[in-house]
A = this chain, B = another copy of it.
Amino acid sequence: MKTLSNPIYPVIWQDDRVILIDQTRLPEEYHTVEISSCQAMAEAIKTMIVRGAPAIGVAAGYGMYLGAREIADSDRQKFLHQLEAIAEMLRKTRPTAVNLFWAISRMVQTAQESRGTVAEIKATLLETAKAIQQEDLQTCRAIGDHGLSVLPDKPQATILTHCNAGSLATAGYGTALGVVRSAWREARLQRVYADETRPRLQGAKLTAWECVQEGIPVTVITDSMSAHCMREGKIDLVVVGADRIAANGDTANKIGTYSLAIIAQAHNVPFYVAAPFSTIDFSLPDGSKIPIEERNVTEISQIGTTSLCPEGADFYNPAFDVTPAKLIAGIITEKGVLKPHLLNN
């Protein structure tokens, strides 16, 4: 396996195209994919070559620019009309993460508000995509540093996280792993527990990989072991990412997050969500309206090409669940730590 110099950037703009780390091939191999069209970007988001709510937002920003770049028409109205079709195609890639919709809307709005020629609009769109990326990186660093305030009153903490809310899931640095990185930098972290996060194993594969890259001690457990570990006193706090947060604080995140929040509460282990403020969807009063993506059942029934289950069994594969605000001790954002009960309850 190739050892990288830090930091890890899952999306890079270089030589007029996007370079993505192929997250479906980690940790076995570090491989990048070149994306030069909005169709290719849509496919990369769907197939989870790039994944993680903020990283999807960054990728969609560039996807919008790549699409805009291909529009031949120099008439402003026709250009905007075609740009909307590109936006619609990208919106259909993943339904749950709000960052996707937020980034696409920002790109559309930028184009609509831009007064220049179509060529000038295109240039502005590229700058906006770059800005989304840079802002996300700064946001994640701020989230990480705000996270220091929720660490327990002991020299070094153990943090359990679910799925991957790390550099790979953002422009860089990470949200939940941003808190981990800041804690590690300040020598406030003893160890990360990464639950493997079935079915796609982002915890075992991506979170463990990120930690190993930076020398952060990480223990991988199965999703079913968190309660046992908490009862043994191994876990001081839980920090996870978010794909969409409703106005009342209910949080959609990778399937298994809701289980973990229930289990944390049963052990009086504080449960935090770390996410950019833009993850809060104020148009949704509560989590019941968040659309939950169902993915292909082969994610459960196979590992690679190895079949795990007998023929004839049925499967159910919701990719996300919703954790009610009452189970969340705080939402760590770039603006500070929000208490869910202070949101629009």
Q: Which A residues contact B (CB, under 8 angstroms)?
A: 1, 26-28, 194, 196-199, 201, 204-205, 208-209, 211-212, 217-229, 231, 255-256, 258-260, 262-263, 266, 300-301, 303-304, 306-318, 321
Contact = CB atoms under 8 A, between A and B. Distances in A.
A310 B209 contact: yes
Determine the main DSSP class of A at the interface with B. mixed
B263 A225 contact: no
Number of copies: 2
Contacts of A313: 194, 204, 208, 211-212, 218-220
A300 B306 CA distance: 16
Given A221-B315, A223-B222, A263-B263, A208 B310 contact: yes
Contacts of A198: 196, 198, 222-224
A76 to B, nearest CB: 46
B307 A226 contact: no
Contacts of A217: 314
B221 A316 contact: yes
B262 A220 contact: no
Contacts of A1: 310-311
Contacts of A309: 27, 204-205, 208, 220
A322 to B, nearest CB: 8
A80 to B, nearest CB: 40
A259 B314 contact: no
5 contacts: A220-B314, A221-B316, A225-B318, A227-B259, A306-B306
Given A221-B300, A231-B321, A262-B262, 9 more contacts: A26-B310, A222-B256, A224-B255, A227-B259, A227-B262, A228-B318, A229-B316, A262-B263, A262-B266
A229 B258 CA distance: 11
A48 to B, nearest CB: 16
Instruction: Give the 7 A-B residue pairs with the shortest CB-CB distance, closest first.
Output: A224-B256, A27-B310, A212-B312, A198-B222, A227-B259, A228-B321, A208-B313
A273 to B, nearest CB: 16
A300 B255 contact: no
A223 B220 contact: no
Nearest to A210: B310
B300 A228 contact: no
A303 B300 contact: no
